[in-house]
Structure 1
Amino acid sequence: MSTAADYSNVDPEQALKYAVQHIRGDRAQIIEGIIEPVSPTWDHEAAAETIRDQIRPRARQLGCVTGSGNLDLPGSSNWFVPDIAVVPAAQAKGAAALLPEDTLLIVEVTSESNGDTDRVVKRKRYAEYNAPLYLVIDRQEQSVTLFSEPGRLGYTRVDGPHPFGAKIRIPEPFGLDIDTSELA
């Protein structure tokens, strides 16, 4: 006689996050409990690369890496894969996932299929989890907005939206201007 396995002490959040890390073939993220594949188009990647190329030299000077590694939001059913995150190299080494507060900057590039996720859900959650800087490249609105000074109720400082073609200042520790003319 077989007995049923006892799953009564399994943490649903941890089980969901474990499952999303082990999906074969594609990367995926969890947005408010919904598993979404991460499969950007080349146009999307070109926009991200435009920003990454401008950030990377300063990130290296700061001892950081730029990438799209996993971000865990403990206590929630969220597991994000940002388009670009700048994190200290020492923290990235050997880490399966980091926390938004471990980043110096997070950049999301919107797509038609998930633009509201980047504009609303991720903005709220990144602030809640203390990501210091959140840059949204909104391809549908053709604008760029920088959110900073995270608080419990959201970001308290907003720079933008600025139309593509404008320069936007990324504050210290970066202290650089991002040229968005190539995005237009």
Structure 2
Amino acid sequence: MSTASQHPEDYSTVADPERALKYALRHVAGDRAEIVEGVITPMSPSWAHESAADVVRRQLTVRLAELDLVSGSGNLDLPGSENWYIPDLAVVPAELAMKTEGPLVPDQTLLIVEVGSPSNAETDRVTKRRRYGQYGAPLYLLVDRQNRECTLFSEPTRLGYATADGPHPFGTSVRLPAPFDLALDTGLL
């Protein structure tokens, strides 16, 4: 049976393990689960976790409107890998978001923010940092609640990110470069 006539997101009739796993995630595991290195991981962020993401979102809001960008926590597919992420916050062009029903890929974002929790801190610090860089996300902000610090990663490469700005202890500013040109206040994290 040929898979050429299938729709890009119809994972139900293929033998490819990546596609089958992503099908299972979308149709069995539900909307609040992601795949990290082939493992389906349910997500249930705490209120403290959501609050930290909201602190960043609120500071970005004015710039997003000026730049015709939107923020959200939509699905990100990492094609060719067994990874499907739901970032705590991603910033994308408004026009792209309005036209996209399925997942985006990291290189379509302008900024990805992950807020570390006790259950996923190492995943955010190591795995997602490497994968987001490999898949071309221009900026990755890690809000590490356990270590009470933020680090901004930039210059994506095939091995991850080439540049890290930080860690910056909570209470200091983290400068987001163009197009944002914004100093994030981390004092409320």
**Is TM more than 0.5 here?**
yes
The Cα RMSD (Å) is: 1.5
Deviation (angstroms), 1:95: 2.6
Q: 1:44 aligns to what SS in structure 2?
A: helix
Separation (CA, whole Å) in 2 of partners of 1:26 and 1:72: 14
Secondary structure of the residue that 2:188 maps to in structure 1?
helix
Q: Distance in 2 between matches of 1:8 and 1:81?
A: 25
Conservation of the 8 A alpha-carbon contact between 1:26 and 1:39: no
The answer to whether the aligner puts 1:166 opposite 2:175 as a matched pair is no
- Secondary structure of the 1:36 match is strand
* 2:140 equivalent among 121, 134, 142: 134
Identity percentage of aligned residues: 59
Tell me the secondary structure at the aligned position of residue 86 of structure 1.
strand
1:9 to partner: Cα distance: 5.0
Query: Given the superposition, is the C-alpha separation of residues 68 and 47 from structure 1 closer, same or farther in structure 2, using an over 3 Å criterion?
Result: same
Q: Does 1:90 align with 2:95?
A: yes
Q: 1:53 aligns with which of 54, 58, 64?
A: 58
Relative distance call for 1:9 and 1:81 in structure 2 (3 A) is closer
- Pick aligned residue for 2:161 from 155, 177, 180: 155
- Equivalence for 1:13: 18
Give the aligned partner of residue 63 of structure 1.
68
Match of 2:82 among 74, 77, 81: 77
SS in 2 for 1:162: strand
Cα distance change, pair 25–171 in 1 and its aligned pair in 2 (3 A): same
State the alpha-carbon separation in 2 of the partners of residues 135 and 124 from structure 1: 13
Would the aligned equivalents of 2:14 and 2:20 in 1 still touch at CA under 8 Å?
Answer: no
1:3 alignment counterpart: none
CA distance, structure 2, for counterparts of residue 136 and residue 130 of structure 1:
16
Q: TM-score with structure 2 length normalisation?
A: 0.90
Gaps in structure 1 of 5+ consecutive residues? 1-6
Q: Distance in 2 between matches of 1:138 and 1:17?
A: 28
Report if aligned partners of 2:143, 2:150 keep a CA contact under 8 Å in 1.
yes
Amino acid of the residue matched to residue 173 of structure 2? K
How far the C-alpha of 1:92 sits from its partner, in A, is: 1.3
> Aligned partners of 1:24 and 1:158: how far apart in 2?
34
Q: State the shift of 1:23 in Å.
A: 3.2
2-structure distance, mates of 1:125, 1:9: 25
Residue 98 of structure 1: SS of its match in structure 2? coil
Amino acid at match of 1:57: V
The answer to whether the 8 Å contact 1:72/1:80 transfers is yes
8 Å Cα contact 1:26-1:38 kept in structure 2: no
Runs of 4+ in 1 over 4 A off after TM superposition: none
